[in-house]
């Protein structure tokens, strides 16, 4: 009997998604004779039963295209806005899964998508996931596709900022994405020769950063590049947030937990704009003109790098193999040059952050880069 599989892409878009869809779809059809359909716009498309039949003509010519031909959204199956209300729509999704007589549902996404796929797995759907995100923070895999492309874009941006920083004798602060993991800022900072790199894993002292910049100035170096992860925070802010999170964990009842969560959300919201405040503070402490560049979603766009195309293709073909073997409830993780099926319950809730003894950190310190501590 012919197997049928569904594919959806959820969360933020990422370079390499189309490469993975192509590899999975072509391998499933041509090697295993499976039928493949795509659900549009993530989990919402699965709930609304909006589909596209993925055949050879749909999969041709998409290897080098950024974004996702299926569209995406950040909707959560168990908390989906419907008609002004937030509803659990998992049962509807299960019904649509069975209407198409699917043998498996493949979900391509980051940490949030892994959690949402796991929630559908608990409802009886045969789920298998692929790890994509420019943040490289999904647990259980060596690397996520999308990261290499974003790393190249961020590095090129730092390269370009060197010339204006040097010409105007400025401090250039560049904010790099990465959420609460420092992989992107750290990698781009090292590759781009940033003088200061600030990441979430190492809370910084702004006075230490200012001192490092002043030392460069005294040594005759009249500019500095500061690469900052969007999740980086000062020592004081890190302490405040840590206490707020502890209050959530230690809350004795629902009311206390709700109140603690509200306070935590307020503090996290206040963190938005932190890089601008850091830029202004560095100008005050050093007396040097400081400018901020926020790369934002520029890092997620454009043609995927060769490395991301290779990785996405490798994981996509491996996914088809695992489906043919009946392996479900797993994420297709990158392992060396191969792929491994990692149980989803070992992935969900595990954010992969930069270890403090990681070789990249050792290298950064070795060449004299200030990490804010």
Domains 4-145+304-336 and 152-233+271-300+356-366 alike in fold: yes
Predicted confidence band of residue 326 (pLDDT cuts 50, 70, 90): very high
Give the span between the Cα atoms of 15 and 147, in whole angstroms: 8
Q: Which residues of 202-234 are buried (b: 16+ CB within 10 A; e: fewer)?
A: bbbebeebbebbeebbeeeeebbbbbbbbbbbb
Exposure of 237 by Cβ count < 10 A (0-12 exposed, 13-18 middle, 19+ buried)? middle
> How high is the mean pLDDT of the chain?
91
Percent of the chain past pLDDT 70, that is, above it, reads 99
Residue 36, Cβ neighbours under 10 Å: how many? 25
Mean pLDDT of 293-322: 93
Give the span between the Cα atoms of 43 and 21, in whole angstroms: 16
Phi, psi of 330 (to 5 degrees): -135, 160
Evaluate if residue 370 carries a pLDDT over 80: yes
Q: What is the pTM of this model?
A: 0.92
Question: One of 103, 135, 148, 308 is an active-site residue; which one?
Answer: 135
Question: Considering only CA atoms, which of 367, 311, 370 is closest in space to residue 335?
Answer: 311
Predicted confidence band of residue 303 (pLDDT cuts 50, 70, 90): very high
pLDDT digits (tens, 9 = 90+) for 33-50: 999 999 999 999 999 999
Give the span between the Cα atoms of 326 and 319, in whole angstroms: 11
**Residues 130, 316: contact at Cβ < 8 Å?**
yes
Please report the pLDDT score of residue 156 as a whole number: 95
Confirm or reject CATH 3.40.50.460 for domain 152-233+271-300+356-366, answering yes or no: yes
Please report the pLDDT score of residue 1 as a whole number: 65
Residue 13 appears among annotated catalytic residues: no
Phi, psi of 196 (to 5 degrees): -135, 135
Question: Considering only CA atoms, which of 198, 241, 183 is closest in space to residue 373?
Answer: 198
Lowest mean pLDDT among 6-10, 284-288, 332-336: 284-288
Predicted confidence band of residue 242 (pLDDT cuts 50, 70, 90): confident
Q: What residue segments make up the domains of the chain, in order of their start?
A: 4-145+304-336, 152-233+271-300+356-366
Question: Considering only CA atoms, which of 99, 44, 46, 124 is closest in space to residue 328?
Answer: 124
The fold for domain 4-145+304-336 equals Rossmann fold (3.40.50)
Q: Which residues contact 143 (CB under 8 A, 6 or more apart)?
A: 136, 311, 334
Residue with token string 């961020």: 154
Mean pLDDT of 330-358: 95
């Amino acid at each position: 009997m012919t197997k049928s599989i569904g594919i959806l892409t959820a969360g933020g878009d990422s370079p390499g998604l189309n490469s993975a869809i192509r590899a999975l779809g072509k391998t499933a059809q041509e090697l295993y004779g499976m039928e493949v359909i795509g659900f549009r716009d993530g989990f919402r498309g699965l709930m609304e039963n909006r589909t596209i039949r993925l055949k050879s003509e749909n999969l041709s010519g998409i290897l080098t295209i950024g974004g996702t031909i299926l569209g995406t959204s950040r909707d959560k199956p168990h908390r989906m806005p419907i008609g002004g209300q937030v509803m659990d729509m998992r049962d509807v999704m299960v019904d649509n899964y069975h209407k198409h007589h699917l043998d498996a549902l493949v979900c391509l996404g980051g940490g949030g998508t892994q959690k949402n796929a796991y929630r559908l797995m608990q409802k009886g759907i045969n789920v298998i996931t692929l790890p994509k995100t420019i943040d490289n923070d999904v647990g259980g895999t060596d690397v996520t596709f999308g990261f290499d492309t974003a790393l190249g874009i961020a590095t090129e941006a730092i390269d370009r900022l060197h010339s204006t920083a040097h010409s105007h004798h400025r401090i250039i602060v560049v904010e790099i994405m990465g959420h609460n993991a420092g992989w992107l800022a750290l990698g781009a900072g090292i590759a781009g020769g940033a003088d200061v790199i600030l990441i979430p894993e190492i809370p910084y002292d702004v006075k230490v950063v200012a001192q490092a910049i002043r030392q460069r100035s005294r040594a005759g170096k009249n500019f500095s590049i500061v690469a900052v992860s969007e999740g980086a925070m000062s020592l004081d802010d890190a302490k405040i947030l840590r206490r707020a999170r502890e209050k959530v964990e230690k809350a004795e009842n629902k009311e206390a937990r709700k109140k603690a969560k509200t306070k935590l959300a307020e503090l996290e919201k206040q963190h938005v704009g932190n890089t601008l405040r850091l830029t202004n503070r560095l100008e005050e402490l050093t007396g040097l003109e400081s400018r901020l560049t926020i790369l934002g979603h520029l890092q997620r766009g454009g043609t995927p790098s060769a490395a991301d195309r290779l990785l996405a293709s490798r994981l996509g073909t491996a996914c088809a193999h695992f489906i043919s073997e009946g392996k479900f409830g797993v994420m297709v993780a990158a392992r060396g040059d191969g792929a491994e099926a990692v149980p989803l319950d070992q992935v969900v809730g595990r954010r992969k952050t930069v270890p403090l003894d990681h070789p990249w950190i050792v290298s950064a310190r070795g060449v004299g880069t200030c990490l804010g501590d």
